[in-house]
Amino acid sequence: MGLIRSLQSAFGDKGRLPELATILRDRLETADGADALHLDRREKAAFDRLMDALNRLPRPLMALGTLSILGAAMVAPDWFADRMQALSAMPDALWWVIGAVISLYFGARFQTREQDFQREIVDTIVHLPGPTLPATATTPNVAKAGADATLTLKAETTSANPALEAWRNITR
């Protein structure tokens, strides 16, 4: 249920995503190509390109390995049975380690790619020409205390919360 609410808050009428999409669409229509939008990609070093190429190998190799195991089971059932017997003798702890390594590999790779993607989006939005995005850090309808220490103290002091007090009384 929390996931549905968060998706509704992001994509719903009150979410910020439609507003940002409208601003980006307006800027795309008024821009003179990718250069005006600063969408040029930075050139990666040779080592980064090599690591990206190596990181693309595990998933296809696992898929092809699975298909080859199925093919081997059909072609040489005795050979396949011997290999499966050896796998069944493997201790459970080793299976957990293998699962953890594979999960961490793909999880870390996904997180890195997702963060790079988000960083590119933010960088693109920041460098776009045109009107600025609406400020989200300001709090409306709150007076600035300025140099008045009494107002600052009142603003930073928490007030009584009857609902919280009632909940605390119930849980005691």
- pLDDT, tens digit, for every residue of 125-143? 766 665 554 555 455 555 5
* Range of the structural domain that residue 96 is part of: 92-124
Find which of 88-92, 121-125, 141-145, 150-154 is predicted with most confidence, using mean pLDDT: 88-92
Q: Is 143 contained in some domain? A: no
- pLDDT, tens digit, for every residue of 3-54? 555 555 555 555 566 676 677 666 666 655 555 555 556 677 888 888 878 8
Q: Is 57 contained in some domain? A: yes
Portion of the chain with pLDDT greater than 70, in percent: 58
Helix axes 58-75, 77-88, angle to 10 degrees: 120
Residue 100 sits in the same domain as residue 72: no
Query: What is the reported pLDDT for 1?
Result: 47
Measure the CA–CA gap between 59 and 48, rounded to whole angstroms: 19
Q: Is 11 contained in some domain? A: yes
Residue 66 sits in the same domain as residue 34: no
Measure the CA–CA gap between 166 and 164, rounded to whole angstroms: 5
The neighbour count for residue 93, using CB atoms within 10 Å, is: 8
Residue 48 sits in the same domain as residue 27: no
Residue 80 sits in the same domain as residue 100: no
DSSP secondary structure string for all residues of the chain? -HHHHHHHHHHSTTSSHHHHHHHHHHHHHHS-SHHHHT-PPPPPPHHHHHHHHHHTSHHHHHHHHHHHHHHHHHH-HHHHHHHHHHHHTS-HHHHHHHHHHHHHHHHHHHHHHHHHHHHHHHHHHHH--SSPPPPSS--TT----TT-HHHHHHHHSPPP-HHHHHHHHHH-
Q: Is 133 contained in some domain? A: no
pTM of the model: 0.39
Query: What is the reported pLDDT for 146?
Result: 63
Residue 53 sits in the same domain as residue 30: no
More confident residue, 38 or 105: 105
